[in-house]
Amino acid sequence: MIITISDNSGIKQYCVSNRIKRIFFFLLGIGIVLAIAIIWYIVNFNKNLTAQSTYAQQKLLQEKNKILTLEQTIESLEVRYANFREKKEKQEDILLTKIDKLETENKTLAKKLKITEYSNVETHEELKQKNEKLTLLEKELTDTRKKLKTIESVNRKLRLAINNTKSNIKNSENKKAEPLVHSEKRERLFQIATQELGKQYVWGAVGPKTFDCSGFTSYVYKKVGINIPRTSKQQARYGKLIKRDQLKPGDLIFFDTDYHKKGIDHVGIYIGNDKFIHASSAKKRVIITSLNKAFYKQRFKLARRVN
């Protein structure tokens, strides 16, 4: 193999040895093999990525179908509950009327028995029959009351079934929406916060027996292993800023109760369904309040999410 090179000094030719040629073709072969391997890897990576995407879509569709099935089950249970409640109310009215009637007859018979004992007009057999009738009436009254208790027990079980079904749907939605650790912390936050309901409000208190608004929120968060600043103004600058329509249970919500005189001066913990729990200086205790209440709706300023 001869290589010809031309420069200012003239044309020069160089002969390339067989060893260099072998090295050149060897390197060229390695390059071709690497190129083929890279192309093969890219093709298989795209296939795997497509397969994973298809699997994820199928799982999402299955979860949606489960939620739809649960919602239909709830609607069916609510219809059954409404029908059962209507039937129960009718039965209660009938049974209560019957009880009143039985009690009236009971009193009447008792009076007649007393009159009979004093006047000796009625025979012993008639008194015996009336006593037996009175016993039967009392037994019927007892049975009626047992039926009422049975109806109330069934009613409680039906309500529990509806609440459990709704809880399952909420748990399914929470599992899709956020990691399990965050979901558990939100549930723990709710449990700890509601355990403090009714405890006294004291300005500057941080628990465990008395709280002010920011002392209450910092106490609850600390119980789940999250340390947040002490005051409401400091807490309003901590965590991720979110919009009101993005609120989830466990988020901090802030208010300006003095119309810009002090800025943010109150904080609570959102618990869902447009409600929040907070240590109220007006009510002097820890309470649950609707976020749609005119006073708080007008003074709502911002919300923060702390992970």
pTM of this structure: 0.43
Element containing residue 201 per DSSP (H, E)? strand 200-201
Strand partners, 288: 277
For 36-70, b/e burial (b = at least 16 CB within 10 A) is: eeeeeeeeeeeeeeeeeeeeeeeeeeeeeeeeeee
The span from the first CA to the last CA of the chain, in angstroms, equals: 70
Tell me the pLDDT tens digit for each residue of 132-171.
877 887 787 787 777 777 766 656 666 666 666 556 555 5
CA atoms 45, 46, 47, 48: torsion sign: positive
What does 62-91 look like in DSSP terms, one character per residue? HHHHHHHHHHHHHHHHHHHHHHHHHHHHHH
Tell me the pLDDT tens digit for each residue of 30-71.
989 998 989 988 888 888 888 888 888 888 888 888 888 888
Q: Which tokens in the block code for residue 216?
A: 């209450």
Cα distances (Å, whole numbers) of residue 289 to 23, 145, 186, 251, 294: 82, 39, 19, 15, 11
